[in-house]
Amino acid sequence: MESKISLTILLFFIFLSGCIEFNNHNSNGFNDNFDFIQTHEHFYGKVVKVVDGDTVYVVAENGTKYKIRLLGVDTPETHIKNNPYEYYIDKNTPITDVNYLKKWGYKATEFAKNKLENKTVIVVFDNKAPKKDKYGRYLAYIFVSNTTYGIRKPEVFVNFNEELLKYGYARVYISNFELKDEFIKIEKEAKMRRIGLWNWSNN
């Protein structure tokens, strides 16, 4: 009888700790990502190749290979000439140094490789944006674990598209997608703090 009571108490504390852990995720803001993922078409996969800062190949669990163009963001080009009038620090200040932009294109590629290559990710499709672009690439968000890669807990995954904006590796690519306002806000903050490629001066 005593052992049964002890077991009941033990199970109660395990349950309680689980509730605390769940609440901690909520307080950290991860629950928003969990809700977003669960209410959108998505799949788990592994990033097998990073083409550049905003384009990757992902192999899904069923073996299907997808070429993913990260939705809503644009990193500087590395293989063709950049358009300096796509990157404005403010409405009057374009980044006119194309070599500077190319350098940040390579930096964005390295950032993507470090965070995504050979990692388990969640590919999430937007409810407003088209599923493919005119080149046949899938347009999607990529969520990647910010702690332990490969663990299937959507509440501990972050939106990598947003990370590119947050750390100044990309600009917002304006189109019709659900997170556009949020992306613009993140880009504005990075510009204000002169993070990443936005720390440019023409002097």
pLDDT tens digit string along 117-161? Answer: 999 999 999 999 999 999 999 999 999 987 644 455 555 789 999
Distance (Å, whole) CA 179 – CA 125:
11
Q: Say whether 177 sits in a helix, a strand or coil.
A: coil
**Would you say 177 and 197 are in contact if contact means Cβ atoms under 8 Å apart?**
no
Q: pLDDT grade, residue 174 (50/70/90)? A: very high
Strand partners, 124: 42, 141
Measured over the CA atoms of residue 48, residue 158, residue 141 and residue 175, the dihedral's sign is negative
Domain 40-198 is of which CATH architecture? Answer: Beta Barrel (2.40)
Domain ranges of the chain: 40-198
The number of C-alpha atoms within 13 Å of 177 and in the hemisphere containing its C-beta is: 26
Q: Which residues are catalytic?
A: 69, 77, 137
105 exposed, middle or buried (CB, 10 Å; 0-12, 13-18, 19+)?
A: buried
Q: What is the pLDDT of residues 33-85, one digit of tens each?
A: 888 999 999 999 999 999 999 999 999 999 999 999 999 999 999 989 899 88
